[in-house]
Amino acid sequence: MAKTIGIDLGTANVLIYVEGEGIVLNEPSVVAIDTKKDKVLAVGTDAYKMVGRTPGNIRAVRPLKDGVISDFDMTEAMLSYFMSKLKAKGVMSRPSIMVCAPTNITEIERKAIIEAAEKSGGGKVYLEYEPKVAAVGAGLNIFSPIASMVIDMGGGTSDIAVLSLGDIVQSESIRVAGDRLNADIANYIKHEFGLQIGERTAEQVKIELGTALPVENPAEMEVRGRDTFTGMPRTITLDENMVEAAMHDSINQVVKAAHHVLAEIQPELSADVIDRGIVLTGGGALLRGIDQYLSDELGVPVMVSDSPLDNVAKGAGELLEHITKTDTKRG
């Protein structure tokens, strides 16, 4: 019998959870193609190494943008490649799959995600909203009558939701997440220092110096790029507080979206959220001080989940197992 599989089809990374095995794949959502031959050269980690370093005839493509498919053929090629890797590891063919998506996707985008999963080798394909599966993956009991609130900060979108009795009561999805923070850093460096840096460098700066709160004695790192005036290579020194300043406005948009969700729910559910706090998942949860900043701004306890990067894929797999075992139909 084929196993059930949960897929976090993320803008930055694809994670796959297999029933009984846990997370078996975690690779960047990148495809490298030869434009002259119209041929896929590399997928995932191998393709990511080419980002910003390719000759004219090779393009490194991110087939997902803002949490949804922007290039259907490339998404299908990427998923097919990852599924073939799973088959090589002994996972049975045509498994039941649950894929996740932001809460604000259109019906067309919804169908595109399901079709891509089916064409890549999936049997029955389910689609569920990211904050719901992230909450399950973080260990929250979303089926109880007590409200749970989750903020899932991914690569393309931040999804905020309050859940009760197994469904989303109120939610908001904004296209402000890891990719936007990378762009903020690159723009800040260009504006303040006249230096152009690539996408991978900006991400490295975020990982090493990213903080949501100003710090005393900030850590520093050297950053290399191209001088916008001379066109020559140049090195500058950045510190944590510069990076905080670069990202501040975007992080504030996540706060505003969370405020809006909290303002729309029933008073009883608000009381539950105050009691239980908010769980933070996704790659954005790894940003230093983000839990403290959100807690200070929202007036509610905020906790980072145990394995924020795995929550969506793990939750998708667990929710699909729950559906198949209880033989219930999704609405």
pLDDT of residue 328: 45
CA gap 67, 282 in Å, rounded: 13
Task: Tell me: is residue 285 an annotated ligand-binding position.
Answer: yes
Task: Tell me: is residue 32 an annotated ligand-binding position.
Answer: no
Is pTM beyond 0.85? Reply is: yes
- Residues facing 215 on adjacent strands: none
Domains and CATH numbers, the chain: 4-30+63-133+311-326 (3.30.420.40), 144-304 (3.30.420.40)
DSSP state of 283: G
- The rounded mean pLDDT for the chain is 92
Task: Tell me: is residue 12 an annotated ligand-binding position.
Answer: yes
Task: Tell me: is residue 13 an annotated ligand-binding position.
Answer: yes
What percentage of the chain carries pLDDT values higher than 90? Answer: 77
Task: Tell me: is residue 241 an annotated ligand-binding position.
Answer: no
CA gap 157, 152 in Å, rounded: 8
Q: What is the pLDDT of residues 275-292, one digit of tens each?
A: 999 999 999 999 999 999
**Is residue 285 classed as helix, strand or coil in its secondary structure?**
helix
Task: Tell me: is residue 331 an annotated ligand-binding position.
Answer: no
CA gap 303, 306 in Å, rounded: 9
Task: Tell me: is residue 329 an annotated ligand-binding position.
Answer: no
Task: Tell me: is residue 284 an annotated ligand-binding position.
Answer: yes
Instruction: Centre a 10 Å sphere on the Cβ of residue 81 and count the other Cβ atoms it contains.
Output: 18
Task: Tell me: is residue 203 an annotated ligand-binding position.
Answer: yes
CA gap 128, 130 in Å, rounded: 6
Instruction: Centre a 10 Å sphere on the Cβ of residue 61 and count the other Cβ atoms it contains.
Output: 20
Task: Tell me: is residue 225 an annotated ligand-binding position.
Answer: no
Task: Tell me: is residue 56 an annotated ligand-binding position.
Answer: no
pLDDT of residue 330: 44
Q: Long-range contacts: 163-169, Cβ < 8 Å, 24+? A: 163/131, 163/132, 163/135, 164/269, 164/272, 166/142, 167/132, 167/142, 168/103, 168/129, 168/131, 168/132, 169/265, 169/266, 169/269
Task: Tell me: is residue 286 an annotated ligand-binding position.
Answer: yes
